[in-house]
Chains A and B, each alone.
Chain A
């Protein structure tokens, strides 16, 4: 199979969906050519599809999302870009009170088929306002779908699904993945992955690691290290959709391994990992001794200095350590 970069895979998804459906429009800050997006994901779109369907916007995040809402409920399928996840705060009302709720409030009269693409995340010394992972904010809001792919094939197939979805989708692209290369099926195959379905990215029998976006890659690397150094077979579940999340796949994996670590780059306190851990406890407590560890960023804004940033944001080493901690607790529990 051919290998392409994550940013190329996402771009292909946009081109293919715009060709397939003339209701798809794309707008956001700096997305038109010659700039083609701050990270070049939209490069070439405005040249092929023209200024009616592909537009730059002023720096107006509330209007970008608001216009996407208005367009979505009147017949278009807008894909709007908010340049950084950190900037979503400016458009919060339109996301949370409008996009997420219009279908419900209307008694099911209408759907809100929009996609908000945004990128960001830690690891590039971008400091406190350009490096956050904010999926937990939106996972708290019924009506939104939060998609966070970890590789080029999923990135493309899930972005296509997001554009075809009748529900509002916030599509988070972890910046550290843009230059990751991976197998991606040919365009003719038109592969679309379902939203809300996790994937077992690596099979294992000793412990389940649940992760998404950039953390899935680190979980896979941690699993390799654990196999080599500890002989531990870790199963990695790539959640892919953070809300609504795939309980079934996570519980199925946990039923097999009976131990779990949930890992994310977002702040640990109030994170999505807490929700997943609590759900597994509730569902599995009667059946087995439940041992779960959580990995997340320290309760701090992201510092600028690279040596400080790595203190705050977890990676492979923290996942390995969390797995070892959980397994040692499990061993103690078994001895009891």
Chain B
């Protein structure tokens, strides 16, 4: 809140609305049974990727996880091609080979959502290594949940990034449940506290407060860009849906979910905008526009062709000879 300028907030608000709109539309389609596979919704967590991505350039990289629609939208993905991928069409980002859980666009620095919890942490360290060796100003952001922090890959990747001072920011979306297991059960310490074990800054913020995320991410990303090494940023937030769309979430009380809905990150920004002179009518129009954008994106995504069955084993291996040139 302290560092952001008022005219910058409206586009970020729009980004949050677009994530919510995308997730809402995808959930509806999934419940209608028109999307194959499974789906993980990030509704409730929108402030985190928007606050982080506000400081990222196109050539910065992110690793994402199974709940990645927000991360990739905030990094610049086109919802039409995202929906096409969710529909498993050749016009999708991965030509229908990856789906929601593996969505990638290397031209936007999105090296992939990932179906393996924690796997993106060392991969982000490797991207950071790449920037350090080539002496660019790029940074890598690794998004993961509270479940990932108890994996070996998390520990090894954090430590490697720390000892080599790699330009990486580790963003933990602590939504307090690793599928069904509460975070307090799975660990004796807070997540940001773990940074001390690697000798790097650990920062905990209210992940439902766009301005808090924005400020903390700014500091962490600037630090990484300056060659001062990684930061662990814990953003406390909550997913409104179950672990996957269709999960009734029997492990959480109704009261807990309702309490978190009162801390909805989206209206908090709207209130701020209204108090800074943006007209309610303008915000209503923006909200309606985003709903329409996502309806249309889903429609256009569904229009893409299904893959030709004879192409099933394409791209297992790269054609050789390229590197020899």
* Among candidates A65, A70, A108, A111, residue contacting B124 with C-beta atoms closer than 8 Å: A70
Are A107 and B116 in contact (CB-based, < 8 A)?
no
Interface status of B134 (Cβ within 8 A of chain A): yes
Report B-chain residues with C-beta under 8 Å of the C-beta of A180. Answer: none
Are B129 and A76 in contact (CB-based, < 8 A)?
yes
Report B-chain residues with C-beta under 8 Å of the C-beta of A113. Answer: 318, 323
Report B-chain residues with C-beta under 8 Å of the C-beta of A3. Answer: none
One of B14-22, B154-162, B245-253 contacting the partner: B154-162
* Among candidates A25, A98, A109, residue contacting B94 with C-beta atoms closer than 8 Å: A109
Interface hits, B63-95 → A, CB 8 Å: 63, 92-95
CA of A270 to CA of B133 in the docked complex: distance in angstroms?
A: 41
Are A166 and B323 in contact (CB-based, < 8 A)?
yes
Are A106 and B94 in contact (CB-based, < 8 A)?
yes
Closest to A75 in B: B130
Are A143 and B112 in contact (CB-based, < 8 A)?
no
Are A63 and B95 in contact (CB-based, < 8 A)?
no
Contact flag A68-B320 (CB < 8 Å), given A63-B160, A75-B134, A106-B112: no
* Among candidates A53, A70, A105, A194, residue contacting B98 with C-beta atoms closer than 8 Å: A105
Are B316 and A142 in contact (CB-based, < 8 A)?
yes
Interface status of A328 (Cβ within 8 A of chain B): no
Interface hits, A271-311 → B, CB 8 Å: none
Residues of B in contact (CB 8 Å), total: 52
Are B104 and A67 in contact (CB-based, < 8 A)?
no
Are B121 and A66 in contact (CB-based, < 8 A)?
yes
How far is the CB of B284 from the nearest CB of chain A, in Å? 39
Are A70 and B318 in contact (CB-based, < 8 A)?
no
Interface hits, A51-74 → B, CB 8 Å: 52-53, 55, 57-58, 60-63, 65-74
Interface hits, B89-145 → A, CB 8 Å: 92-98, 102, 104-106, 111-112, 114-116, 119, 121-134, 140
Interface status of B280 (Cβ within 8 A of chain A): no
Residues of A in contact (CB 8 Å), total: 51
Interface status of A255 (Cβ within 8 A of chain B): no
Interface status of A39 (Cβ within 8 A of chain B): no
Interface status of A179 (Cβ within 8 A of chain B): no
CA of A294 to CA of B185 in the docked complex: distance in angstroms?
A: 51
- Binary B-proximity of A139-160 (CB < 8 A = 1, otherwise 0): 0001101000000000000000
CA of A166 to CA of B323 in the docked complex: distance in angstroms?
A: 6
Are B106 and A110 in contact (CB-based, < 8 A)?
yes
Report A-chain residues with C-beta under 8 Å of the C-beta of B96. Answer: 107
* Among candidates B115, B126, B317, B323, residue contacting A164 with C-beta atoms closer than 8 Å: B323
How far is the CB of A195 from the nearest CB of chain B, in Å? 7
CA of A192 to CA of B163 in the docked complex: distance in angstroms?
A: 36
Interface hits, B163-184 → A, CB 8 Å: 163-164
CA of A164 to CA of B129 in the docked complex: distance in angstroms?
A: 20
- Binary A-proximity of B299-325 (CB < 8 A = 1, otherwise 0): 000000000000000111111101110
Interface status of A94 (Cβ within 8 A of chain B): yes
Contact flag A74-B317 (CB < 8 Å), given A62-B156, A105-B94, A166-B322: no
Are B160 and A104 in contact (CB-based, < 8 A)?
no
CA of A110 to CA of B108 in the docked complex: distance in angstroms?
A: 13
Interface status of A102 (Cβ within 8 A of chain B): yes
Contact flag A109-B316 (CB < 8 Å), given A58-B159, A94-B122: no
Interface status of A93 (Cβ within 8 A of chain B): yes
Are B133 and A62 in contact (CB-based, < 8 A)?
no
* Among candidates B92, B130, B315, residue contacting A71 with C-beta atoms closer than 8 Å: B130
Q: Identify which of B95, B130, B324 gathers the most chain A CB atoms within 10 Å of its CB.
A: B130
Are A60 and B160 in contact (CB-based, < 8 A)?
yes
* Among candidates B63, B131, B316, residue contacting A103 with C-beta atoms closer than 8 Å: B316
Contact flag A53-B130 (CB < 8 Å), given A142-B316, A167-B320: no
Report A-chain residues with C-beta under 8 Å of the C-beta of B214. Answer: none
Report A-chain residues with C-beta under 8 Å of the C-beta of B133. Answer: 25, 52-53, 71, 76
Are B102 and A106 in contact (CB-based, < 8 A)?
yes
Are B123 and A69 in contact (CB-based, < 8 A)?
yes
Interface status of B152 (Cβ within 8 A of chain A): yes
Contact flag A143-B130 (CB < 8 Å), given A66-B121, A66-B122, A66-B153: no
Interface status of A97 (Cβ within 8 A of chain B): yes
CA of A67 to CA of B131 in the docked complex: distance in angstroms?
A: 12
* Among candidates A58, A97, A109, A192, residue contacting B106 with C-beta atoms closer than 8 Å: A109
Q: Identify which of A61, A65, A98, A106 gathers the most chain B CB atoms within 10 Å of its CB.
A: A106
Interface status of A165 (Cβ within 8 A of chain B): yes
Are A74 and B131 in contact (CB-based, < 8 A)?
yes
Report B-chain residues with C-beta under 8 Å of the C-beta of A93. Answer: 116, 119, 153
Q: Identify which of A72, A74, A165 gathers the most chain B CB atoms within 10 Å of its CB.
A: A74
* Among candidates A55, A62, A167, A194, residue contacting B317 with C-beta atoms closer than 8 Å: A167
- Residues of B at the A interface (CB closer than 8 Å) are 61, 63, 92-98, 102, 104-106, 111-112, 114-116, 119, 121-134, 140, 152-153, 156-157, 159-160, 163-164, 314-320, 322-324
- Residues of A at the B interface (CB closer than 8 Å) are 25, 52-53, 55, 57-58, 60-63, 65-78, 90, 93-94, 97-98, 102-111, 113, 142-143, 145, 164-167, 192, 194-195, 244
A-B contact pairs, 27 of them (CB 8 A): A25-B133, A58-B163, A66-B122, A66-B125, A66-B156, A66-B157, A67-B122, A67-B129, A67-B157, A68-B126, A70-B123, A70-B129, A70-B130, A73-B123, A74-B111, A75-B130, A76-B133, A76-B134, A93-B119, A97-B115, A106-B94, A107-B97, A108-B314, A109-B105, A166-B319, A166-B323, A192-B324
Beyond A52-B132, A105-B104, A109-B106, 5 additional contacts (C-beta under 8 Å) are A63-B153, A73-B123, A93-B153, A106-B112, A143-B316
